[in-house]
Amino acid sequence: MSTRREQILAAAAELFARHGFHGVGIDEIGAAVGVSGPALYRHFRSKDAMLGEMLTSISEVLLTGGLDRRERTEDPAKLLGELIAFQVDFALDNPSLITVQERNLGNLTDPDRRRVRALQRRYVEVWVQAVRDTAPDLDEPTARAAAHAVFGLINSTPHSRHLGRDGMATMLREMAAAALAGAGGETRR
Amino acid sequence: MSTRREQILAAAAELFARHGFHGVGIDEIGAAVGVSGPALYRHFRSKDAMLGEMLTSISEVLLTGGLDRRERTEDPAKLLGELIAFQVDFALDNPSLITVQERNLGNLTDPDRRRVRALQRRYVEVWVQAVRDTAPDLDEPTARAAAHAVFGLINSTPHSRHLGRDGMATMLREMAAAALAGAGGETRR
DNA sequence: ACCCGACGTTAGCGTCCGCTAACACGTGTT
DNA sequence: AACACGTGTTAGCGGACGCTAACGTCGGGT
């Protein structure tokens, strides 16, 4: 629909990523898209609603991306590789969204946070299943912890831009794959 | 020295980690240590100063920990393993400090941020050198990017507590080592 | 006995911030 | 011509926040 909403969300995401949710004022977000201040309330009900819509849509994109790939790929090893590539591409192409999702989940309203958490959990489950299909010796909690660790690895991207986009992508894919392969070890609590 | 300062810093760290720097008020920090509000100004010059001291001391602890280990260990592979174990232990034992350092660097005053950044860069250089000593085929930017990625992996700990503390530690060590070994590119799943 | 420094309290200041109110303007439909 | 509607503006309210001021209490050194 309106380009304006997306434009506002993109600007807000960048500002939230840089200064934190509470560190950004309505006026700054408006200024970033060329209008000033309260004009934003023609498009969003509140500042909270901006963050809510932002994080919800990210989580939905990730989840449907994961579900799509699981549906299309039946070879477990190939699926895991595609999940990795998907997450790497998303992180490299949407650094501020990734940053906001990692840092500002706690600033959501309770209902929004519940929604986002639910979506995230389903996305993680896609990963957990894929991991365990390629490494059946891992129990479920270990697989889940390993998945979270790999998210941390991939999502660290916004904070280190030293390589080019493609060099970064291949390196992250290889490191993620190796890390997951190495999670097997003799891990036991 | 005064237990009080450290007590305040610990409480503030937990609150900053949960709600973000601007999401926490002076009164809340005071309440968390049993005094209320402006009493904190007997111990710190400002709220900014609390964050500044917090992040500076973390960075110093990490840097000296890294330098110590480099001094004591001459075998490159062993050194890298010890750096990994050191970072893993620190992240597992100080989850809120790690979270604050990752999320709230941008909320520091300019001079504080410069100080912290300088310390962090020196710590990263310890890692880069250790990585390149065990994998000489990596150029420096790649080694640096790989180090940052491994920090992301290890520091993701606070957000996933599924395994016990020791199970988590061994798994993270193995994943980190595997990820670094896989950063070269010759390791395919 | 006295004072002083450490540490705490409450009251209140100035400012910022999210949001609403009231109004203006351009466009498309009737 | 009249109107509704989408989108923007400025003014301003109410509350929160960081911080200071002024004052109280208490324990240790002289």
User: Residue A138 belongs to a domain with what CATH number?
Assistant: 1.10.357.10
* Any domain includes B27: no
Residue at B122: amino acid letter: R
Residue B101 and residue B21: Cα distance in Å, rounded? 11
Residues of chain A below pLDDT 70: 1-2, 185-189
pLDDT given for residue A76 in this prediction = 96
pLDDT given for residue B187 in this prediction = 40
Q: How many domains does chain A have?
A: 1
Please, what is the angle between helix B110-134 and helix B47-72, to 10°?
20
Beta-carbon count within 10 A of A165 CB: 11
* Any domain includes A5: no
Q: What percent of chain B has pLDDT over 90?
A: 91
* Any domain includes B52: yes
pLDDT given for residue A159 in this prediction = 81
- Which chain B positions have a beta carbon within 8 Å of A145's beta carbon? 160, 162-163, 168, 171
pLDDT given for residue A185 in this prediction = 57
* Any domain includes B7: no
CB-nearest partner of A107 from B23, B177, B179: B23
Cβ of B177 within 8 Å of Cβ of A182? The answer is yes
Backbone dihedral angles phi then psi of residue B185, each to the nearest 5 degrees: 115, -15
* Any domain includes B149: yes
Q: CA A53 – C1' D11 distance (Å)?
A: 30
Segments forming the whole domain that contains residue B73 = 46-184
Identify the residue among A48, A80, A104, A156 best suited for mutation to test binding to B, counting B beta carbons within 10 A and taking the highest.
A156
Closest among B165, B149, B144, B168 to A177, alpha carbons compared: B149
Q: Which whole number is the average pLDDT over B51-60? A: 98
Using the predicted structure, report yes or no on whether residue B111 has a pLDDT greater than 90: yes
Interface of A with B in 90-109 (CB under 8 A): 102-104, 106-107
- Contact in structure between B145 and A171 (CB atoms under 8 Å): yes
Reported as a single tens digit per residue, the pLDDT across B135-177 is 999 999 999 999 999 999 999 998 887 899 999 999 999 999 9
pLDDT given for residue A2 in this prediction = 65
* Any domain includes B20: no
- Of the pLDDT bands very low, low, confident and very high (cuts 50, 70, 90), residue B188 is very low
| Interface contacts A/B by beta carbons within 8 Å | 172
- Which chain B positions have a beta carbon within 8 Å of A160's beta carbon? 144-145, 148-149
pLDDT given for residue B124 in this prediction = 98
Reported as a single tens digit per residue, the pLDDT across A78-98 is 999 999 999 999 999 999 999
Reported as a single tens digit per residue, the pLDDT across B12-39 is 999 999 999 999 999 999 999 999 889 9
* Any domain includes A88: yes
Q: CA A37 – C1' D3 distance (Å)?
A: 28
Please, what is the angle between helix A3-19 and helix A95-103, to 10°?
60
Tell me how many degrees the CA angle A79-A82-A83 measures, rounded to the nearest 5.
85
Reported as a single tens digit per residue, the pLDDT across B68-104 is 999 999 999 999 999 999 999 999 999 999 999 999 9
CB-nearest partner of B175 from A103, A171, A179: A179
CB-nearest partner of A155 from B152, B180, B188: B152
* Any domain includes A81: yes
Question: Quick one: which residue's CA is nearest to C18's C1'?
Answer: A26
Cβ of B19 within 8 Å of Cβ of A141? The answer is no
pTM confidence score = 0.95
